[in-house]
């Protein structure tokens, strides 16, 4: 349902106001590729779409299909300069969408939705670029789900969605509770998963051994920790195997998103 907006004080634009202010009830998808993902390949429901005339033409096929499926979906059309004033910065691609967060998945639901595919477990990853990049990697390597502790940032924050190239909209995710999350890894083991912890400790198994001198786990749940600190002692103690990516002496560690890409490529072969 295409609706042209003439006044930037129109309440239909309220989801999009001052986006630099931070988190809000609705999440915001930014860019044509990400909005297309939200409308065609996501478990989340769009509340509205905000586009310039140029973006409307670029997305007309998917917007027409979305409007046919949900005739009440507002497609709001606004000029580029006016859109920039509403959101508080330049939207170069002239395209945004507001989405409903819906009900959160439980850890058990996320494991079921993985259908035996690899699972990523994150502890204390508190940078939106890293969260977005990890979800992008997860989508690229066929990961079935991501499970996070409460120390991780929101995967549905606008920047995380954008960096993930829509990965946070496609890959199922859930959060552990506030207390005793390593113990909840039992639900993964009950589903047949082996829990692998990525760590730079030299005592860990060299990742190159998997698939060479030792078999790959049939179902792998791979844990990653925050920048600097890495996985906690509790998380490491709860793992079945510690795994390291060899790097040259004198280098502390890899960026967690880079480590995730390497580990998933090795441990979750397509």
pLDDT score, position 61: 95
* CB 83, CB 94: distance < 8 Å: yes
Domains 2-100 and 107-267 share a fold: no
Residue 98 token pair: 């507001």
Q: At what angle do helices 32-40 and 60-69 cross, to 10 degrees?
A: 30
* CB 174, CB 167: distance < 8 Å: no
How confident is the prediction for the chain on average, in pLDDT?
93
At 205 the three-state DSSP class reads strand
Q: How many CA atoms lie less than 13 Å away from 76 in the CB half-sphere? A: 25
pLDDT score, position 124: 94
The number of beta carbons lying within 10 Å of the beta carbon of residue 19 is 18
For the chain, percent of residues with pLDDT exceeding 70 = 97
Class of the CATH domain delimited by 107-267: alpha beta
Q: What is the pLDDT of residues 140-153, one digit of tens each?
A: 999 999 999 999 99
Closest CA to 184 of 243, 238, 127: 238
pLDDT score, position 179: 63
Residue 114 token pair: 């993985």
Give the residue carrying structure tokens 């912890």.
197
- The fold of 2-100 is 60s Ribosomal Protein L30; Chain: A; (3.30.1330)
Q: What is the pLDDT of residues 199-234, one digit of tens each?
A: 999 999 999 998 888 888 999 999 999 988 899 999
Domain map (residue ranges) of the chain: 2-100, 107-267
* CB 254, CB 201: distance < 8 Å: no
Q: What are phi and psi of 191, to 5 degrees?
A: -90, 5
**How many whole angstroms separate alpha carbon 129 and alpha carbon 241?**
27
H helices of 15-106, in order, are 32-40, 53-58, 60-69, 80-87
The model carries a pTM of 0.94
Residue 190 token pair: 């009950």
Q: What is the pLDDT of residues 1-13, one digit of tens each?
A: 899 999 999 999 9
Q: At residue 20, does pLDDT exceed 90? A: no
pLDDT-derived band at 180, boundaries 50, 70, 90: low
Q: At residue 24, does pLDDT exceed 80? A: no
């Amino acid at each position: 349902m295409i609706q042209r907006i003439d006044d930037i004080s129109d309440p239909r634009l309220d989801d999009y106001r001052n986006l630099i202010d931070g988190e809000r009830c609705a999440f915001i998808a930014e860019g044509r590729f990400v909005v297309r993902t939200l409308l065609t390949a996501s478990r989340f429901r769009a509340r509205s779409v905000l586009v310039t005339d140029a973006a409307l033409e670029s997305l007309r096929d998917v917007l027409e299909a979305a409007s046919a499926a949900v005739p009440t979906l507002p497609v709001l059309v606004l000029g580029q300069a006016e859109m920039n004033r509403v959101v508080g910065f330049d939207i170069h691609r002239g395209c945004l969408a507001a989405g409903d967060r819906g009900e959160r998945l439980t850890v058990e639901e996320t494991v079921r939705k993985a259908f035996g595919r690899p699972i990523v477990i994150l502890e204390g990853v508190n940078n939106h670029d890293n969260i977005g990049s990890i979800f992008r990697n997860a989508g690229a390597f066929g990961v079935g789900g991501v499970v996070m502790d409460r120390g991780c940032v929101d995967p549905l924050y606008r920047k995380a969605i954008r960096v993930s190239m829509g990965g946070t909209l496609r890959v199922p995710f859930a959060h552990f509770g506030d207390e005793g999350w390593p113990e909840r890894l039992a639900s993964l083991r009950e589903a047949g998963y082996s829990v692998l912890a990525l760590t730079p400790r030299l005592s860990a198994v060299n990742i190159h051994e998997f698939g060479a001198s030792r078999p790959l786990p049939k179902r792998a749940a791979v844990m990653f920790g925050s920048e600097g600190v890495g996985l906690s002692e509790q998380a490491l103690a709860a793992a079945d195997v510690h795994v390291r990516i060899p790097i040259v002496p004198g280098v502390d560690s890899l960026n967690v998103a880079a480590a995730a890409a390497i580990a998933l490529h090795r441990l979750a072969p397509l």
